[in-house]
Amino acid sequence: MLLGKWIDKRIDAYQSDLMKKYCDEVESMYTKMRGWRHDYHNHIQAMQASMALGRYQEVSDYLRQLNDDLTNVDTVLKTGRVMVDAILNGKISIAAENGIPVNAKAKLPPDLDMNDVDLCVVIGNLMDNAIEENRKLDAEKRFIRIYIGRRNTQLYIAVTNAAGKKREKAGSLFRSSRGTGHGFGLARVEAIVKKYGGIFTVDSEDGGFTAEVLVPIS
């Protein structure tokens, strides 16, 4: 009884910390976007001045720098829900900062009953797990593939990432490589998916890890 309450408190605390982290990531991303838009006219004036002086290489270099900057803050994916867009794109930006290539395709069914908070916890945890595993590898071995969409009458989410050696299973999931006190992420995903009558599966092998979610669409 006491152990169950302790576990519930740990999970609640974990989710609270997780959502605070998500909010901080979202705020950071939108702050960068607002800053870029605010400076838009200044960028145009600077390029016009260089063009008037015939400094075309200078303009070319300036445009390249702006493109790199915009790539870091622009919304890469539009799933159909603003909060989910912010979380997913925030995680993709973090992956890029860590030199992890991401191949992503995401579109949420409009008739999906899952609320935004639960969706963000699921997607955020899967991405955190994928990023954590990639950080342990050499740069040339890193990758993440994401697919979110409809599969017949179900929402299908799949996250595949580069990984090291095959992970040891603990029940239906896997032990965290970070040791005792960690590993709530995938367990939290499983709990949320089950709440909606869905299925959560994970598969680990040498060199790769895949997590898949299926949730009925009413």
Q: Of 217, 21, 201, which is closest to residue 120 (Cα–Cα)? A: 21
Domains and CATH numbers, the chain: 75-216 (3.30.565.10)
pLDDT in the model for residue 133: 92
pLDDT in the model for residue 81: 86
pLDDT in the model for residue 43: 76
Q: Any residues with CB less than 8 A from the CB of 147 and at least 6 apart, and which?
A: 104, 105, 106, 156, 157, 158
Q: Do residues 124 and 87 touch, judged by C-beta distance below 8 A?
A: yes
What is the mean pLDDT of each successive set of 10 residues along the chain, which is 218 residues long? 61 63 64 68 79 85 76 67 84 90 93 90 92 93 96 95 79 51 73 94 90 93
pTM confidence score: 0.68
pLDDT in the model for residue 117: 85
**CA–CA dist 183, 159 (Å, integer):** 17
pLDDT in the model for residue 6: 62
Strand spans (E) along the chain: 102-106, 144-151, 154-162, 169-170, 173-174, 199-205, 208-216
**CA–CA dist 213, 201 (Å, integer):** 7
